[in-house]
Amino acid sequence: MDEYSIKNTTKQQRIELIRSWTPEDEMLDDSSFDMWDMYRDYIEGIKEISECNAAFKADYVSEPADTWTVKQILEDDFGCEERLPGEPLSCIVNLMNGNGERKQIRLAEALLTEKGIREGSKLPAELLN
């Protein structure tokens, strides 16, 4: 692969290399996958091919089924009854696991703050109960 390294190629050669990897029949038309986007940093001379591949892999490796990721945190709606005096503020937390299953739980806002939980965080298992 050294012959394809940034130091051994021009931008035009890197473009031609990526073009040679793109299927002629455009099999990827239905997908959100974009070879040009994936290798843009290589074409621009910023990252080597192996670095682009590693970044792509890191983005698409899924989490184990028992790992829940916080997708959204919403302010709890207490409706017309409103929150009782002294009742702690709570949030509705939307979660998704490695299998794509979704779940919604209610957690105290203070607990989320204390544990540093925000959108994108992995939720500790003890908070799921």
74-103 pLDDT per residue, tens: 988 766 777 778 888 889 999 988 777 889
Closest CA relative to residue 105, chosen from 88, 128, 72:
128
pLDDT value, residue 105: 93
Question: To 5 degrees, how large is the angle CA 84–CA 90–CA 95?
Answer: 150
Total-model pTM = 0.48
Condensed to tens digits (0 to 9), the pLDDT of residues 107-127 reads 999 999 998 999 989 887 778
